[in-house]
Structure 1
Amino acid sequence: MAIIIFLILHWYLSLFFQSVFHHRYAAHNMFTMNKFWERVFYIGCFLTQGSSYISAYAYGLMHRLHHVHTDKAEDPHSPHNDPNPFLMMWVTRNNYIDIHLGKTIIENKYKKNLPEWESFDKIAHNWSVRIIWIIVYILIYAWLATAWWQWLFLPITIIMGSFQGMAINWWAHKFGYENFKMRNTSKNILPFDFVFWGEAYHNNHHKHPTTPNNAIKWFEWDMGFQSMRFLHFLRIIQLKRLTT
């Protein structure tokens, strides 16, 4: 089932760049890298997110606001404010667009140390480019799909980055277990996170937002942190903290 293999590869590659580059680098500055590698990651985000590509600069701003205003009216993506995950995804999309276009007034203190490649974003963030990506995905499905039901995964492929963000932020504020009592609804979705690259440990992350390793308990495993350790070993990035 080639289309399932494609879907799995797309899921983990897209999630890697969203978790490591958008979340841990852009939003939280957990490591540093030179301009060359930063742009390699930008291109990696574009190639893996495709039609759902989002700007690391705008995402970083939006997620910083999420931590400052968690579960409050000003939170740009909280299930506490929306009755279902699809409405939350739509509200998140609108808040993201407003931030990307500069319509949302944000204090300068939240704009520090954000990656920015404006000329690249003008291309990658263009609707005509998104349509080209959708056509590419349709051609891939036409080539690999062997049964009608496999086409049901096409919408997920098209909105992969947005879908992953919704899945993590919705479930991690709705269901799961807590290692720490917080003044918000953050939870850990999975005891062993083999689905979300370590982002399932949302309660741990809200307790220690600048710690690169989201895993706290002995049974928790943060693949995102392990991948960052490997990139640090290769001297592609420089982790600010090698341990929890």
Structure 2
Amino acid sequence: MDSAARAPEKLSGVEDRPERKDPKRKAISSPYFHRLQRKHFLLFDVLPILGVVLAIALAFIHPVSAVDIGLFVAFWALSGIGISVGYHRYFTHRSFKAKPMVGAALTVLGSMAGQGALLSWVAMHRRHHELSDQPGDPHSPNLHGPGLVAGIKGLVHSHFTWMKEHDYPNVAYYAPDLLRDPLVARTARHYYSWVALGLVLPAILGGLLSQSWWGALTGFLWGGAVRMFVVGHIIWSINSLLHRFGTRPYQSRDFSRNGGVFGLLTFGEAWHNNHHAFPESPSFGLQWSVFDPGYWVIRGLNLAGLAWDLRVPSAQRRTSRKNRTLQPR
């Protein structure tokens, strides 16, 4: 999956630029977008590392509290579900339908992860599926040549460094459905406000629950910066590790793999080969016995009447896609 992309949803600020006028142009290499990408990379991918260092250093002065741990877990779950269920399964792949308020809530929660504005993220991930492990895939670890050194370079690129500068997928080409949805476009336009909410809210809660300024600071660090760092690297590991290591039970035209041990941490996203074989499925585990918390959330929404049309592939279709050669192509 993509941790994405690095330009805000405010298309009005770039509509007068020549490179945005052709809706059929799939990707844009532009100094303007590259500046936005580097800015986003610094703010939301590099600075959280400093937050982790500061949080660990302060833990030697004042032990991490139950409030800090609670805020970390709560905001890790909320923002992770926002990415897995919202950005990925609902908006990118349209694997289920939901009431508008569900989409708006998932937009806010996914934005709090700091992994990119919704329309950009969706466009990037749809491009990834279109060109997975082929030239043009923005974050494949398999395009750097043979050998150990090239393999390491590919993993570093796909996990982290690709985000600082890359071709920007044309949102008008890859995500016209979202552009036409006024509620989605209006909610997503406030991406930076939602990121700030994901940092400020745990600080406020930490201060109120501990009745101290120290609690506000550690709430900001553990529920905000550390949580953003952890969610980011967990999701990015799918781009890197799960296109190199793991099992391939299903046929796919790329090198996607399953890493079931990461199922809990990735909200079920680690069933990556399953997902690439059946991208329209809201269930990545494909059956109830497989640990897929993201799908459990979707099923909960379904039972509450807030989501419907869950298109899980039948057992017969899954059998027909079983990988008998264990080769990517």
Q: What range is the shorter-chain TM-score in?
A: 0.7 to 0.9
TM normalised by structure 1 equals: 0.75
**Structure with max Cα Rg:** 2
**In the alignment, what sits opposite 2:215?**
143
**In the alignment, what sits opposite 1:32?**
97
- Whether 1:230 and 2:300 are equivalent positions in the alignment is yes
Taking a change above 3 Å as real, the CA distance of residues 64 and 8 of structure 1, as seen in their structure-2 partners, is: same
Report the AA paired with residue 94 of structure 1: E
After superposition, the CA RMSD in angstroms is: 3.4
What is the aligned length?
A: 228
Query: Residue by residue, what CA displacement relative to the aligned partner does 1:45-80 show, whole Å, maximum 9, x if unpaired?
Result: 34x42xx15322221111111111011221122222
- Whether 1:200 and 2:270 are equivalent positions in the alignment is yes
Q: Is the 8 A contact 1:24 1:30 kept in 2?
A: yes
**In the alignment, what sits opposite 2:109?**
44
Superposed displacement of residue 161, structure 1? 4.8
Q: Is the 8 A contact 2:118 2:188 kept in 1?
A: no
Report the AA paired with residue 223 of structure 1: P
* Percent identity (aligned): 23
Gaps of 5+ in 2: 1-64, 145-152, 208-213, 315-329
Q: Is the 8 A contact 1:137 1:157 kept in 2?
A: no
Q: Which range is displaced more, 195-204 or 170-179?
A: 170-179
Secondary structure, aligned partner of 1:59: helix
**In the alignment, what sits opposite 2:175?**
111
Which residues of 2 match residues 1-244 of structure 1 at below 5 A? 1-2=65-66, 3-46=68-111, 48-49=112-113, 52=114, 54-81=116-143, 83=153, 85-88=155-158, 89-92=160-163, 94-95=165-166, 99=168, 104-105=169-170, 108=173, 110-114=174-178, 117-125=184-192, 140=206, 142-143=214-215, 155-190=225-260, 193-216=263-286, 220-241=290-311, 244=314
Q: Distance in 2 between matches of 1:44 and 1:133?
A: 8
Gaps of 5+ in 1: none
Q: Is the 8 A contact 2:81 2:109 kept in 1?
A: no
TM normalised by structure 2 equals: 0.58
Taking a change above 3 Å as real, the CA distance of residues 242 and 58 of structure 1, as seen in their structure-2 partners, is: same
Superposed displacement of residue 39, structure 1? 1.7
